[in-house]
Amino acid sequence: MSLAAVGKTFADFEIGAPDAEADRRLASYFVRTPYVDSALNLRRALYLGRKGSGKSALFTQLGRLINEAGYTRSLVIAITPDQYAWNALRQYSEGGLLPEQAHSNAWKLTIAIEIAAALSSVAVDELTDAGAKEACQTLRTFLEQNYGSASKPNLMASATRLLKGIKSFNVSAFGFGAGLTREIEDQLLTPQIIDSLLESISRISREVGIVVALDKLDDSWEGSDQSKQLLIGLLKASKELNDRFRGDSPANGLAVLVFLRTDIYEGLRFDDKDKHRATEENIVWTPELLKDMVKERLPEGVAVDELFEPGEMRGSISPFNYIVKRTFLRPREVLQFLQECIRRAGPSATFITKDQVREAEERYSSWKVEDLKQEYRRLYPDFDELLESLRQGLHRYDSMEEIGQHLQDRIPRLVDEYGTRRIIELLFNASAIGVRLGNSGSAKFRSEDSDLVLPAVGAVYVHQCLYRGLSLREKRAREDGGLEDVEERQ
């Protein structure tokens, strides 16, 4: 049914905020996808997605979802390191250890302290195992001795305390004497403290399941080697904790889930990265799932296609599919485009016209150009210039050689520095461009298939979401069999 059929206009509902953290109604129309089920069943530990793909939406809803799944005694601990905690953790080092190992220890210790603080809310009388009760009291004693209160620690306090040196901790709750603490070197004492904390946590987790989720790891990430080492340390720490303590469901054991941007993860290089493959879950959306996401936000009974005037857009495509084709298949982009369409339609309207979709595309496309630059500039400082090299060019290049010549003409300095193939690869990995093989079928983009690899030959297409923002020209065939460039029209 249409909005008019149910007696409503666009003023009677909100499509929702593109930003998950700002959407107070997200829980009411959150869509269960395969990767959500994966998180609830603890099948994976590393959730990878591009910016705006829904990582933070799952992160913010994880506690509610686990509780509604029946795991009412489980604790979900959400950690989002701010700039100050990030910097403190990044500065941590241990004599005799490689930076990655020192950062791994720092993460394990701070995560363990975060868990200990969360467990302070557990009523000891509700625990049935004597060892768990004793462990709970031990953790409270440790926290009170070091922070003055069992519930006071947070990530910033833990990270700052860590910078003072591991020997600044009072560990008598675990049976370590003060004299022993002074004599043992940091690299020997740190594992003992970590193991003592985790042993107590493990005893309690047999009755109270613990899920730790970390998000917003890119907010303070600036692409430096130190930041990369800190993230590698986190990945190694989370894998070790999951390997040692994860249970068979959120009802027991300890699980650590990390939410990270795909481009940042792909830029990390470390030994044994292949061992993390089994823990990865790529957050991907299909047009069908995106349609479901929008439908959940509409008044009951209203169909997504009924938001638009009848008829198809150029290319015999429905207006909604037209919108989806101009996204990287991310919820945030679909909502941004729809919100701009609704704004142009006006609050009293009951549908969006095809002209309003095209008008909205002008502004939306310019957003996508700037958003793509912002997304990749910290990882690739020259990305702005790479993307701008496509401006006022063609929407299609018939071969790798043709786009290579275009890049040579526009950005010779970067071509000399990186090489043509590498520049094409960077644009391809960001889905700014896609490929069409064998002169058949449609162009393919990595945003549709994360396993897609840049081929050696093929026609190259700029993504449709960038057409208007980059003022591209469309290449069409002439009647005489030649080619002409015309202004892009939709």
Q: pLDDT 10s per residue in the chain (490 long)?
A: 999 999 999 999 988 877 777 778 888 888 888 889 999 999 899 999 998 899 999 999 999 999 999 999 899 999 988 776 777 787 777 666 778 888 888 899 889 999 999 998 888 888 899 999 999 999 999 988 888 876 667 776 776 666 666 667 788 888 765 444 444 555 556 788 889 999 999 999 999 999 999 999 888 788 888 889 999 999 999 999 999 999 888 999 999 999 999 989 988 999 889 999 999 999 989 999 999 999 999 999 999 999 999 999 988 899 999 999 999 999 999 999 999 999 999 999 999 999 999 999 999 999 999 999 999 988 899 999 999 999 999 999 999 999 999 999 999 999 999 999 999 999 999 999 999 987 678 899 999 988 899 999 999 999 999 999 999 998 765 444 444 444 443 3
Residue 291 lies in a domain: no
Per the DSSP assignment, residues forming a β-bridge with 444 are: 435
Domain endpoint, select from 376, 411, 431: 376
pLDDT of residue 17: 79
For residues 341 and 354, give the distance between their C-alpha atoms in angstroms, rounded to a whole number: 10
For residues 56 and 467, give the distance between their C-alpha atoms in angstroms, rounded to a whole number: 29
For residues 405 and 392, give the distance between their C-alpha atoms in angstroms, rounded to a whole number: 15
**Alpha carbon 453 to chain centroid distance?**
21
Query: Could you give the strand order of the β-sheet that contains 396-397, starting from the edge strand earlier in sequence?
Result: 396-397, 459-462, 433-436
Residue 25 lies in a domain: no
Residue 74 lies in a domain: yes
Q: Are residues 64 and 158 in the same domain?
A: yes
Q: Are residues 317 and 403 in the same domain?
A: no
| Contact in structure between 115 and 254 (CB atoms under 8 Å) | yes
Q: Are residues 119 and 264 in the same domain?
A: yes
Residue 346 lies in a domain: yes
Place of tokens 């790891």: 217
- Measured in degrees and rounded to the nearest 5, phi and psi for residue 374 equal -65, -35
For residues 102 and 233, give the distance between their C-alpha atoms in angstroms, rounded to a whole number: 8
Residue 18 lies in a domain: no
Q: How many domains does the chain have?
A: 3
Residue 5 lies in a domain: no
Q: Are residues 353 and 430 in the same domain?
A: no
Q: Are residues 404 and 457 in the same domain?
A: yes
Tokens of 350: 């009951």
pLDDT of residue 290: 95
Closest of 131, 147, 296, 250 to residue 200, by C-alpha: 131
For residues 108 and 102, give the distance between their C-alpha atoms in angstroms, rounded to a whole number: 10
Place of tokens 């989370």: 238
Question: Which runs of consecutive H residues, i.e. helices, occur in 215-318?
Answer: 225-245, 262-266, 287-295
Q: Are residues 95 and 191 in the same domain?
A: yes
Residue 441 lies in a domain: yes
Up-side HSE of residue 220: CA atoms within 13 Å toward CB?
17
For residues 407 and 132, give the distance between their C-alpha atoms in angstroms, rounded to a whole number: 64
| Contact in structure between 373 and 452 (CB atoms under 8 Å) | no
pLDDT of residue 257: 97
Domain endpoint, select from 322, 342, 376: 376
pLDDT of residue 289: 95
For residues 339 and 79, give the distance between their C-alpha atoms in angstroms, rounded to a whole number: 31
Domain endpoint, select from 319, 347, 376: 376
pLDDT of residue 126: 84
Give the β-pairing of 396-397 and 459-462.
antiparallel
Amino acid at 175: G
Q: Are residues 180 and 82 in the same domain?
A: yes
Torsion of CA 259, 263, 269, 273, to 10 degrees: 50
Q: Are residues 102 and 175 in the same domain?
A: yes
Q: Are residues 142 and 251 in the same domain?
A: yes
Q: Are residues 330 and 439 in the same domain?
A: no
Q: Give the list of residues 6+ apart from residue 114 with CB closer than 8 angstroms, or none.
A: 77, 79, 153, 154, 155, 158, 212
Tokens of 168: 């600044």
Q: Give me the domain span that covers residue 365.
A: 303-376
| Contact in structure between 186 and 95 (CB atoms under 8 Å) | yes
Q: Are residues 351 and 388 in the same domain?
A: no
Length of the chain: 490
For residues 130 and 127, give the distance between their C-alpha atoms in angstroms, rounded to a whole number: 8
- Name the DSSP letter for residue 135: H
Q: Are residues 57 and 148 in the same domain?
A: yes
- Measured in degrees and rounded to the nearest 5, phi and psi for residue 447 equal -65, -20
Residue 391 lies in a domain: yes
